[in-house]
Chain A
Amino acid sequence: MEFSEHIKTANVEDVVLQQPLHPPSKGTLCITSHHLLFSDREEDSGRQVLLLLRNIDAVEKSSVENLVNYFGLFPNAGRSDRATESSGTLVIKCKDLRVLQLEIPGMEQCLNIAQSIETLSCLACVAEMYPFFYRPSNASLRDQWGLSTPERHYTEMEALHERWRLSTVNQDYSVCPSYPPAVIVPKAIGDDALKMAAKFRQGGRFPVLCYYHRKNGMVILRSSQPLTGANRKRCIQDELLLQAAIEGSDKGYIIDTRSAQQAQQARMMGGGFESKSCYSSWKRLHRHMERGKTLQESLIKLVEACGDKSPNMDRWLSKLENSKWLSHVQTALSTAGLLAECVERDGRSVLVHGSEGTGSTLLISTLAQLIMDPSCRTLEGFLTLLEREFVQECPVFLLLLDCVWQLWYQFPLALGFSEALLLRLATEAYSSDYGTFLCNSDMERCALQVKGKTHCLFRVLLKPREREQYTNPLYEPNELAIWPSVHPQSLQLWRGFFLRWTQQTLHLELVQEDIRNMVIEWGKLALS
């Protein structure tokens, strides 16, 4: 497909751009296959705005439509004159919560631009997305992609080798399309049994190890729901697999991220849960976590409340509460806390799943690792954790970052990275120059050769210059678990993200940067 088909008007002069934190400016607007580019006309300011079209969530063309109506009513009222004199206004709402306004002279041009943005911003074909075209001069496609591999993860944890093995049963993605080619499973369970267990789990996501707790040898496993269905099917291999995972211990926990009632209902649809009778060594704990649509709606409400420009901000706190976003944060952190408590305090291994095992499951397994494992709290460790667990669903990923921010806020010394990193990730997840957040699974990434044809964000973030930007100046490595307080009084709105385009937030971002530079400079000279 040719992108140019979608670009009827590529350049418009005398466009007025209004964006947050800047005075309006006049200049040239260009639409390319992946970008919207605005260049300020003032020579000395030389301001440019380069926006990935992918970042655009919605385009509203209020004034243009009014004009169209007007011409519809008065077809002979000097149409051509007005069309050239009139200008249309586009309000562009971005996924990073920025709102831009473009005043474009000429109604037709305005409509063309809107049309191009609408089409190009939501191209469905992954291979046509910008990361496949992004070729920075200082990087080569032969550079290493990704931070770790299941193999390396396994090799690094020697204590694990006695009872766990690396299985390549999924080498060709045929057992579970959404798993990587290699997974860590109990040594006692052979690949054939894994294949059987995979058939008993939704989407083939059979229980695999995701975390080994060095302090006491307990593990976290994750999977999708068992397909017990209405007539309570069993799978002996699945049962053996789980039994093998807690060998030598009398009990393990299953944290089901659905309510008991939801889990019951899932049986009607062919899903289900691990029954007491078949999994007698496992104790199930149900913690209802909202997902998908509910989460998305909550996010929309919150963003609306944050964008409310009315001066009195009437009942702001009620609006914040009604969005329920912070209660999702609370649930996620407390469920992750429960998971960590089972492992660290109770000394038990835990299996986590919901339905598909790709949303809330990954969310809480990631958070629990941050809570318990100091090696996940460095910049490198955190990115590796993200790469390994890979939360893909968008509102869930944002929720994850928000929860990590709450940890950072409550434990200013415990994390090796800064709020700036979380903001960067929140932006890149929605639209990016890099291939890191493309696709939903290793299989898809492999098919599209993402690792050969795009650049890796995580690698870039670890380059010396970038790394310095994202470190936490107060960081002190700490072996202990960091237990977050999950009372609503302890949770804060992540202003850095949700009120990002306000003067105050910008100011605080700069101050954080100053503090970081200050501490680095003190360290350099004082310790020289």
Chain B
Amino acid sequence: MASPVSVYNSNVLDAHISSTSRESLKMELLADVTLLPGEERIIDKDIIYICPFSGAVKGKVLITNYRLYFKSSDADVAVTLDVPLGTISRVEKMGGVSSRGENSYGLDITCKDMRNLRFALKQEGHSRRDIFELLFKHAFPISHGLPLFAYVTQEKYEENGWSVYRPVEELRRQNYELCDTYPAVLAVPFKCKEEDLRRVASFRSRGRIPVLSWIHRENRAAIARCSQPLVGMSGKRNKDDERYLDLIRDANDTAKLTIYDARPNVNAVANKATGGGYEGDEYHNAELVFLDIHNIHVMRESLKKLKDIVYPNVEESHWLSSLESTHWLEHIKLVLSGAIQVADKVSSGNSVVVHCSDGWDRTAQLTSLAMLMLDSHYRTLKGLQVLIEKEWISFGHKFTSRIGHGDKNHADQDRSPIFVQFMDCVWQMSKQFPTAFEFNERLLLTILEHLYSCRFGTFLYNCESAREQNALRQKTVSLWSLVNSKTDVYLNPFYTPESGRVLYPVASMRHLELWVTYYIRWNPRIRQQQSPVEQRYLELLALRDEYIKKLEELRLSDSSRLADDSPGADTSSPSPASSPTRQRHYTHLHTPF
């Protein structure tokens, strides 16, 4: 049932627990925590949570090897916190034994997910020493030689998320006869001698040569991604690299290849000083376009500014201009409009190459968003999983460095919310096209929760080789196992598949919105009650399924009456799997990458 709870004033947190005496409540306080298989209690303790919305709240905290769990003991203020330790970026001691003032002695915890937590303890008897040390150890297991929880959990799911993305099958889905009609990118490396490829690799930052991300079903235009060329101050050239890019252009016979350099022009120039740079005039038949997207440091600072104006208190008096001064939405705009340009170019039949500096942050954003615009498959529940597995995970977005899984170095300059920004762009698109995505907002929020939680192996490590070394897929569970075992909560009841349609979102500030339900979700006064809406969506999904069932029944009864003479009547069923010969092609085509 819909039950909108007041968000008009501060009474939201009210929850009257009747017929339970305070004493019994206190004893059972932590009894209702359902631990995950493999999760173990480490310590529990009486503590005061300094809630920015309800003030100091007495209760009990439980630390396990997976989470920090707090529950208030005071029935009048029902506060529960359930924070995966992976979310914690920094744990500090607040105040000292001699600190004055109430609740001035305790712990100050900074989280990666737009909130901070403060706890106060009794000042006498070093009461925080044990909890601080244990929390510090288990929040940053990597810094203490401990395994991440993903390696400890014993969770079992019906579905195996690790099988969601199979590179060969994904290529087959695109239904391209790659070796026949798209020889340039995929076949040439075979014809190329090993050393040719190596020469290209030696000219691209960290050896990240141009590889295929996506190819257009009809016009055969391709999206290739790579890192910057190592042009340097002296303006070095590499014939193999030039020829390689020209082969990409030639793949579908277009006159000009467009190279999208995600960076601002000045940054690309500045990169020459450190040996990098961009493609110059020596690349015949190619044009270079800068997309003006800033680097990971700018994005990190921008989101930090945003956090400052939404947590713990929301900026009230000059909200919009404060929001403007964080530039977060402007960055979103630039990323989206860059992706739109890529998608538009490809859709009009021209192949493109996308890179930034190393090709694993902005490049991943651009290629994956462009693919989301171009290919409706990626707008399905499974499709988005494939997209993330492919463009982000397999092509080496450095999740470990960007998120800092299990690492205590909270000030690490490599950390940056690039993937969050991508999810934000997906959300913006889903707002602009409410029927075009099979998944709903809940999926995006769940993905972001587990980006940090370390409960699943999905976002661990920087690249495939590290994953192989650490037997990730054998020893951990995939996030997609969780999602695909219970899909209905992640589905959009209004999803209407339109396979050929290219979606161009409007990347204008006037049509972009702050993702309040993500960035300001901890504030009970702002947060909208999602649950009645989600409940209604589930009802509608059920209604839709019922509708489809009835429709199917009608269709069957019709066709049995009408089409008794044609034995293979069911022409609408998907065509059977590809022949084994084709499969063989794909299998070895993939290996060089």
Contact = CB atoms under 8 A, between A and B. Distances in A.
Interface in A73-105: none
A485 B6 CA distance: 8
Interface residues of A, number: 52
B454 interface: no
Contacts of B4: 411, 414, 478, 480-483
A159 interface: no
Contacts of A511: 433-435
B536 A522 contact: no
Interface stretch (A49-57, A195-203, A222-230, A512-520): A512-520
Contacts of B509: 313, 316-317
B25 to A, nearest CB: 26
Interface in B500-539: 506, 508-511, 513-514, 516, 520, 525-526, 528, 532-533, 536
B564 interface: no
Contact of A318 (B324, B546, B551): B324
A476 B535 CA distance: 11
Interface of B: 1-9, 310, 314-316, 318-321, 323-324, 329, 432-435, 494, 496, 506, 508-511, 513-514, 516, 520, 525-526, 528, 532-533, 536, 540, 543-544, 546-547, 550-551
Contact of B526 (A337, A489, A514): A489
Given A499-B511, A522-B543, A488 B319 contact: yes
B435 A514 contact: yes
A320 interface: yes
A410 B528 contact: yes
29 contacts: A313-B510, A316-B324, A316-B510, A317-B323, A317-B324, A318-B321, A321-B320, A411-B4, A412-B533, A412-B536, A414-B4, A474-B536, A476-B1, A476-B2, A478-B1, A483-B7, A483-B9, A485-B7, A485-B528, A487-B316, A487-B526, A489-B319, A490-B516, A493-B510, A502-B511, A504-B506, A504-B511, A512-B434, A525-B547
A467 to B, nearest CB: 21
Contacts of A502: 506, 510-511
A45 interface: no
A522 B3 contact: no
A508 B9 CA distance: 32
Contacts of B323: 317
A132 B46 CA distance: 76
A6 to B, nearest CB: 38
A485 B8 contact: yes
Contacts of A481: 4, 6
Nearest to A340: B8
| CB-CB nearest 4 A-B residue pairs | A483-B8, A488-B319, A321-B320, A317-B324
A488 B8 contact: no
A459 B544 CA distance: 33
Contacts of A240: none
Contacts of B320: 317-318, 320-321, 326, 488
Interface string A292-329: 00000000000000100000010111101100001000
Contacts of B310: 489
Nearest to B316: A488
A489 B528 contact: no
Contact of B547 (A414, A492, A522): A522
A492 B434 contact: no
Nearest to B494: A515
Interface in A453-499: 474, 476, 478, 480-490, 492-493, 495, 499
- Of the listed residues B314, B508, B551, the one surrounded by the most CB atoms of chain A closer than 10 A to its CB is B508
A476 B525 CA distance: 23
Contacts of B434: 508, 511-512, 515
Given A504-B511, A525-B551, A526-B550, A478 B435 contact: no
Given A413-B532, A514-B496, A306 B510 contact: yes
A528 interface: yes
- Of the listed residues A341, A411, A483, A485, the one surrounded by the most CB atoms of chain B closer than 10 A to its CB is A485
A487 B314 contact: yes
Contacts of A485: 7-8, 525-526, 528
Contacts of A515: 434-435, 494
A84 to B, nearest CB: 42
Contact of A480 (B3, B8, B315, B329): B3
A480 B432 CA distance: 31
Interface in A410-466: 410-414
Contacts of A320: 320
A64 B67 CA distance: 73
